[in-house]
Amino acid sequence: MRPWTDLATISGTFNFNDEEATQCAETLKNAMDGFGTNEEDIVRVLVEHNNDQRQEIAKTYESAYGAVLMEDLKSELSGDLEDVIVALMMPPREYDAYMIHEAICGAGTDENTLIGILCTRNNEQIEKIKEIYKEKYESDMTEDIKDDTSGYFQRLMRSLCLGGRQESDPDDDAVETDAENLVQAGVGSWGTDESEFNKVLCLRSYDHLKKVIKRYEEKRDGTSLDEDIDSEMSSDVQEAFHAIIKVTRDKEGYFAERLYKAMKGLGTDDKELIRCICSQAEDSLKWIMVRYQELYETDLFDAVKDECGGYYKSVLLSLLRGSFVSKDE
């Protein structure tokens, strides 16, 4: 297991204390007072501190000035810069809850966001997301997702929302059974039994799933589970099952792929860039950058630099490097 300090890009300042929180709050206040906004000072303060430290700065700001830091920041900023600063200021699970709410409460449903969050969070994180969602929006997240989705995708999302993935060690007999059941539920029968795929992929532990995936391929003479899912399913159900398989095999590679797709082709999926980079800056962003380089022979820092601009670019590059990066770099 790699220690988290080897994976995170943002670790915050050492020996953070009340005096530093006061100085940061004052810097932020001065950056937003008077005519115009000093975006550079805002970015520098926020990217040089980790999320826990930002929460302390926000408390100090409110105590000192009688105003909510998040509200002041939102009133001063706009566009992608506002979005990425909002992401930085929210605790990680609160941001997940916020993004899920945004994905289902607007016009239509953003299935990509639901997949990107629910297929990559562990049981404890999902329970925390549901708790925060209930507190902030006075509604049950599982029921809201159920009401906004349909069919097998609805069932899949409901299963993930329950946060019931097993954490036990793999059992060889159970691995054999699951692999055979997946064959019979898909290519081995007329039609596809999505419920069997749902049961195995949403319930079994990741260590167990790794063995199931390998055994499945052996049974299919080298044809992968991914290939059979492509031939048996379509649309969002297919994408969600692919996400679970990719996270099982290579979680950092999965995030690298999402980042690549967010910047590939015409236009940029800034929401995806923000979500992936901000959510992983204190988790495994360093290793995601390594996997990005290995998979696409391109430096993620350079890719983001070419794709984004202004202080929005400054924030993302600072998170990737782990220290402040000017918008002019």
115-160 pLDDT, tens per residue? 999 999 999 999 999 999 999 999 999 999 999 999 999 999 999 9
Instruction: Quickly state the pLDDT bin for 2 (edges 50, 70, 90).
Output: very low
Per-residue b/e over 229-253, b at no fewer than 16 CB within 10 Å? beebbeebbbbbbbbbbbbbeebbb
Q: How confident is the model at residue 4, as a pLDDT?
A: 43
Residue 319 contacts residue 47 (beta carbons within 8 Å): yes
Instruction: Note the pLDDT tens digit of each residue in 25-34.
Output: 999 999 999 7
Q: How confident is the model at residue 106, as a pLDDT?
A: 76
Note the CATH number of domain 12-77.
Answer: 1.10.220.10
CA distance 300 to 294: 10
With tokens 């007999």, the residue in question is: 173
Q: How confident is the model at residue 1, as a pLDDT?
A: 37
Q: How confident is the model at residue 7, as a pLDDT?
A: 86
- CATH class of the 94-161 domain in this structure: mainly alpha
Instruction: Note the pLDDT tens digit of each residue in 71-102.
Output: 999 999 999 999 999 999 999 999 999 999 99
Q: How confident is the model at residue 38, as a pLDDT?
A: 97
Q: Homologous superfamily of 250-308 in CATH?
A: Annexin (1.10.220.10)
Within 10 angstroms of residue 128's Cβ, the number of other Cβ atoms is: 19
- C-alpha pair distances (Å), 194 with each of 198, 199, 202, 209: 6, 9, 12, 17
In the chain, % of residues over pLDDT 70? 98
With 0-12 CB in 10 A as exposed, 13-18 as middle and 19+ as buried, what is 165? buried
Instruction: Quickly state the pLDDT bin for 265 (edges 50, 70, 90).
Output: confident
Q: Residues 315-319: what's their mean pLDDT?
A: 98
Q: Residues 190-208: what's their mean pLDDT?
A: 93
Q: How confident is the model at residue 266, as a pLDDT?
A: 85
Reported as half-sphere exposure (CB side, CA atoms, 13 A), residue 274 has a value of 22
Q: Most distant CA pair in the chain: distance in Å?
A: 70
Average pLDDT, the chain: 95
Location of each CATH 1.10.220.10 domain in the chain: 12-77, 94-161, 172-233, 250-308
Q: Residues 212-231: what's their mean pLDDT?
A: 96
pTM of the model: 0.93
Note the CATH number of domain 172-233.
Answer: 1.10.220.10
